[in-house]
Structure 1
Amino acid sequence: MARPNFEGVTSVRPWHILCIACLALPFAVRAEIPADRGEITLGFAPVVRATTPAVVNIYARRVVEAEASPFHDDPFFGSIFRELAPRRPRVQNSLGSGVILSADGLVVSNYHVVGGFTDIRVVLNDRREFDAEILLADEDSDLAILQLEGARDLAALELRDSDTVEVGDLVLAIGNPFGVGQTVSSGIISGLARSGLVTGIARGLFLQTDAPINPGNSGGALVDTQGRLVGVNTSILSRSGGSNGIGFAIPADMVAQFMAQARAGNTRFERPWVGAMGQPVTFDMAEALGLEGPYGVALTDLHEASPLREIGYGVGDVILAIDDAPVFAPEEVLYHLSVAGAGASVKVDGIVAGQRRSDTLRLTLPPDDPPRNTLTTGPQSAIPGLTLSTVNPAVQTERNLPLRAEGVILDDPGRVGARLGLREGDILRGVNGVEVRDAVAAAKALRVATRRLELVVERGGRSMVLRVRL
C-alpha cells in the first residue's frame, strides 16, 4: 500500500491522523458479541448457542409388507390378486428434525417425519440418544408430539405468541437438512396467514419464510432473535426439490394446542366443530356488503346441528373476524378455532341478515349423534366380515366427508367385501332397493338377502351400483 503524502501540509492534528488511518483500514474488526437487538446484524452466534440444544435429529423406521403383484395398484384386478400375490417385508426409513418443548422430554415434529413409524430414535445436539413414542399425531395438521423415554432436565424452547409475529421479523431455521448434521440458516418472515399454498398433507395456516429449508429440515425450529419458537418448519414450495427461498412453518400457537392436548392424554387431535362451509369474500361481494375491502368468509352451507345456527348465522351470512383477528379464507377460521380448542369460547364478528354484530361462540366437538353403532356383519350375512358405522358429524369429521354425507360408511370391507370391489371409506346408501340410513338397518338388509345382492355405493362423490349373484 502506498504511504500517505504529507507534502504541503503545515500541521497535522491527531484527528487528521485518525481519519487517514480509517482510509487505510476500510474495515474495523470487532470481537464483541451483540449486546442488544440493535446490534444483531453483527452475528447470530448467541441465539444459536441458546437454541440449538433444543433442536434434535429424528431417525425413524418401520417394516412394511409390499405386494409383489403387478396388479396391486389396479382398482379391479388388485382386489382379485391380493390374496394370491406374495408379500415381502420392506424397511422404510425417515429422517427429520424436532424441537424440545419441555424439560421432561416432550418433542414436536412433523407427522410426515414420524407418523406411522414404530422405531423412533432421537439424537440430541450433545449426541445423547433417546427412544421415543408418539403421544399425539395428526396428519391434517402435519404435527406430532413425542415423549423421550427417560429424559429429564433438557433444554427447551419458549413459544412465541403468533399474534406478535410480523412480516420482516428476523428468523433462524434450525434442522438437519439432507442428514448432514445440525445446520442453521437465516432469513425473515416473508408472509403471514398463508393458506392453500403448501403442497403435501398439511392443511391450515402457515408462516412463510425465506430462510432456506431443505429435506431433513422438516420438524425443525424456526426461531426469532430472542430464541423463541416462532414455528415448526414443515415444507417448501419448489420445482427442483431444493430450497427456492419459499418455505412454510406451522405457527407456535398451533404447537401449543398440540402440547396441551398431549399433556391431557389425548391420542387424537380434537378440533372444534362448526359444521359449516364457506368461501372468501370477493371484491364485488365486499362492495355489496359495504366492507372496506375484500375480507371475511361467506357461509355457503351449514349443517343442521351447526353451533353457528344457535347464534343466528345462516347460509349467506359472513364471518369477518375471530377474536378480533380478521379472516380471509375458511382455513383461517379453522385455524383460529383449533388454536382456541374445544371447550373455549371465541368472539365472532360478522354480518348476519345484513347487520353487523358480535357474538360469543362456545366451541364444542362434533356430535356423535345419531350414534354411529359400529358393528361387523356375521357369517349369516350376504357379505360377512363387513364393518359398518352410521354417518354422523363425528364420522364426517374423522373421514373428511361432506356436510351432507349420510348413510353407512365401510370402516373395513373385510375379505369378502374386498373381493367384491368394496373399499374402506365407501358409503353404502342402499341394499336391494331399500335405502339404508344406519348401520343396524344395513346389517339387517344384508342378512335377509338371499339370491341376489344389489348395492348402491357412493365413492369419491360418485354413485355406483354393484350387483352380485349369491
Structure 2
Amino acid sequence: MRLILPVLISLACVLPAAAEVKVPQSQTEISLSFAPLVKEAAPAVVNIFANRVVQQSESPFRGNPMFEDLFRGFGLSQPRVQNSLGSGVILSEDGIVVSNYHVVGMATEIRVVLTDRREFEAEILLADQDSDLAILKINADTPLPHLSFRDSDDVEVGELALAIGNPFGIGQTVTSGIVSGLARSGTATGNARGYYLQTDAAINPGNSGGALIDVNGRLIGINTSILTRSGGSNGVGFAIPANLVARYVEQARAGNDRFTQAWAGIFGQAVDSSLAEGFGLSVPEGVVISSMHPDSPFAQAGLALGDIVLSVDGQPVNSPPEMLFRMSVRPVGDTIIVEYLSGGEIEQAEVSLIVAPDLPPRDARMVKGGTLAGLGVVNINPAVQSELKLPTAMSEGVVVTEVSGPLGRIGLRVGDVLLEINGETINTTADVEDASDTRGRNWRIDGVRGGQRFSYRFRI
C-alpha cells in the first residue's frame, strides 16, 4: 500500500454469475449471509509476496545519534532487498493474475499464495506504473479458481460490494460496504487513466491488488488506494474499474509487455463554473480543448481548439483523466463516437483510435565525444511525447533521453527539452552533436523542464 497526503494508500477485483442485482426488500433479505458468496469468490483472491533489490547508501555515521541525520545519504550505495506485501486476483483457470504495480513492479522474485496454501512463482507479463496495474502468470497442474468480469460501466452508486484482500499481512479478510462514488479522478495513485470506483468497504494497507466484487461474485474493480490522514481505513477506498483491467489482460495475452494506449493528441481542462458561464452553458460539463497536435485524430475528425468534449461513446466525460479512461478501454483501431459543443451547437464525430505516430523520425543520438559526451537525445514526435509524457505543446525540438558524466552532475535530467547550447538554437539531434564540438571553457545550456525555463552555466 502506498500513502499519499491527504494520504492515499494503494489497495482491489471479480467472479461469474448472472442474477439480477436488486435492493433488499425486507429484513429477512437484509440479514442473509454473505458466506456462500465469499466461499465461492475468496479462493480466487491470493496473497502476493514480492522482493526487489534497491540501492541504499551505507554511511559510516550510521547509528551515531549525533551525526547520523546530519550525514544521511553519505557513503557508498549498497544493494538491499526490499519486501512488499499485497493481494492479487486470479482471472483465468490457466493462471492469469492481476495485482498493482506498486506491489510487484521491479520485483526480482514474486510468490503467489492461494487460500489452500499452495505457493507458485509468478512472472510479470505486463506492468504499467501509470495505471498501477500488473498482469502476472502462474503455472498450476490443475485449473485454478478465478473470478469473471462484470461490465463496470453498469455499476451504480449504492450497490453492495465486498472487498477481499490481505490487509496488514494478517491473512485473507473480507469487508462489506457499498459503491459510494463513480468517476473519481485525480484521487488515487499513479497517473491512472483517471477513473476510479469509490467504496466505503474497509480497505487497508495490504489490500492493494485485491478484489472488489458485487453481490453476484463478479469482479467490478481492483482495490488500489485509500484516502486517509491516519494511515488506516476511513471508509473512502478506490478501485480500478474491471473494464480497464480486462483491456490489460487482453493485451498481456496478446504478448504485449507494455500497455498500448490510444493517442489523443490533445490537452484539455475540465469545464468549471467560470468556464461554463463563458461558454454559455447552463451547468459545468465536459472537457474544453486547450491545445491540439496537428496530427491528432480529434483534429482529423473536425474538432478544434475551444470545442468542448461532452461524451465518448455515450458516456459523459467531465475531466481529462476520465476522457483518457474512455479511450483506454477501447482497442486501438476502433472508432469512438464523440459528442462535442462547437460554436454553441452540439455536434458528433467519429474519432479513430490510433497509436502515437513515430514521425518525424526521432533520430536518436548519443554524443560520444567533446564536452557533451554521455548525452542521449531524440527529436520530439508524438510517440516521444507519449513515452516521456511531454506537454502537447512540446510537439517539436530535442529532448534528453540519457545523461551521464559531468552533465548529470550539473543537474541535466532525462525529459529536459533543449532550446539552446551556447546561444545556438537546437532544432534537431544533429544540432546537439555539432554543439558538442564547440571549443571554449564557458558553457551555457538553456531548456524547459516541467513547463519552466532553466539555464545551466558551467566551465570546463
* TM-score bracket relative to the smaller structure: 0.7 to 0.9
2:132 alignment counterpart: 142
Cα 1:35–1:292, aligned 2, differ >3 Å: closer, same or farther?
closer
Is 2:272 the counterpart of 1:263? no
TM-score, normalisation: structure 1: 0.85
Q: Deviations over 1:126-185 (max 9, x none)?
A: 111111111111111111101114565111111000121011111100000000000000
Paired AA for residue 384 in structure 2: V
Measured in 2, the distance between the counterparts of 1:85 and 1:428 equals 33
Where in structure 1 are there 5+ consecutive unaligned residues?
A: 1-33, 71-80
1:285 deviates by 4.5
Shift of 1:449: 4.0
TM-score (norm 2): 0.87
Counterpart Cα distance in 1 of 2:92 and 2:49: 20
- Of 296, 309, 328, the residue aligned with 1:306 is 296
RMSD: 2.4
Amino acid in structure 1 at the alignment position of 2:256: N
Residues 191-200 or 447-456, more deviating? 447-456
The 5-angstrom pairing of residues 6-155 of structure 1 reads 39=29, 41-68=31-58, 85-150=75-140, 152-155=142-145
Aligned residue in 1 for 2:344: 354
Q: Tell me the SS of whatever aligns to 1:261.
A: helix
- Distance, in Å, in 1 between the alignment partners of 2:291 and 2:277 is 22
Alpha-carbon separation, structure 2, partners of 1:466 and 1:390? 21
Shift of 1:284: 5.2
CA distance in 1, matches of 2:203, 2:148: 21
| CA displacement at 1:84 relative to structure 2 | 9.2
Q: Specify the SS of the correspondent of 1:272.
A: coil
CA distance in 1, matches of 2:153, 2:354: 23
Corresponding position of 2:458: 468
Residues 318, 336 of structure 1: CA spacing in aligned structure 2 closer, same or farther, 3 A cutoff? Answer: same
Q: Output the amino acid matched with 2:379.
A: T
Give the CA deviation at 1:44: 0.5
Deviation at 1:338, TM superposition (A): 0.5
Which residue of 302, 318, 329 corresponds with 2:308? Answer: 318
- In structure 2, C-alpha distance between the alignment counterparts of 1:342 and 1:36, rounded to whole Å: 32
> Does 2:375 match 1:386?
yes
Query: Structure 1 residues 291 and 404 mapped into 2: Cα distance closer, same or farther (>3 Å)?
Result: closer
Q: What SS does structure 2 have at the residue aligned with 1:42?
A: coil
1:423 counterpart = 2:423:
no
Q: Name the structure 2 match of 1:400.
A: 389
* Deviation of 1:373 (Å): 1.6
Q: Alpha-carbon deviations, 1:240-295, whole Å to 9, x = none? A: 01001110000000001101111111111122111111122234544665656322
| Alignment coverage as a number of residue pairs | 426
The offset of 1:426, in angstroms, is 2.0
Alignment partner of 2:147 out of 148, 154, 157: 157
Does structure 1 residue 248 correspond to structure 2 residue 247? no
Question: Residue 438 of structure 1: CA displacement?
Answer: 2.0
Give deviations 1:208-246, integer Å, cap 9, x for gaps: 000000000000000011110000000001000100111
Q: Spell out the pairing of 1:178-217 with structure 2 (5 A cutoff).
A: 178-198=168-188, 202-217=192-207
Aligned residue among 229, 250, 256 for 1:239: 229
**Of residues 418, 429, 435 in structure 2, which corresponds to 1:445?**
435
Partner of 1:219: 209
1:345 to 1:143, Cα distance in 2 relative to 1, 3 A: same
Counterpart for residue 12 of structure 1 = none
CA distance in 1, matches of 2:193, 2:307: 24
Residue deviations 1:364-422 (CA, integer Å, cap 9, x gap): 111112221222111x3322122112222211111121112243222221123223332
Separation in structure 1 between the aligned mates of residue 21 and residue 288 of structure 2, nearest angstrom: 46
Identity of aligned residues (%): 52
Task: Tell me if the contact between 1:208 and 1:246 (Cα under 8 Å) persists in the aligned partners.
Answer: yes
The one-letter code of the counterpart of 1:402 is P
Q: Given the superposition, is the C-alpha separation of residues 155 and 284 from structure 1 closer, same or farther in structure 2, using an over 3 Å criterion?
A: same
Q: Structure with the greater relative contact order (CA < 8 A, sep ≥ 6): 1 or 2?
A: 2
Relative to structure 2, which stretch is displaced further, 157-166 or 418-427?
A: 418-427
Mapping 1:336-347, distance limit 5 Å: 336-347=326-337
- Whichever residue aligns with residue 372 of structure 2, its letter is I
Residues in 2 aligned to 1:336 and 1:145: alpha-carbon distance in whole angstroms: 20
Task: Tell me the distance in 2 between the aligned counterparts of 1:67 and 1:376.
Answer: 30
Residue pair 1:345, 1:362 contacting (<8 A) in 2 also: yes
Q: 1:51 deviation in Å?
A: 0.6
Is contact 1:429-1:435 (8 Å) kept? yes
Structure with the higher fraction of residues in helix conformation = 1
Change (3 A) 1:89 1:459: same
Q: Is 1:64–1:90's contact at 8 Å kept on the other side of the alignment?
A: yes
Q: Is the 8 A contact 1:279 1:298 kept in 2?
A: yes
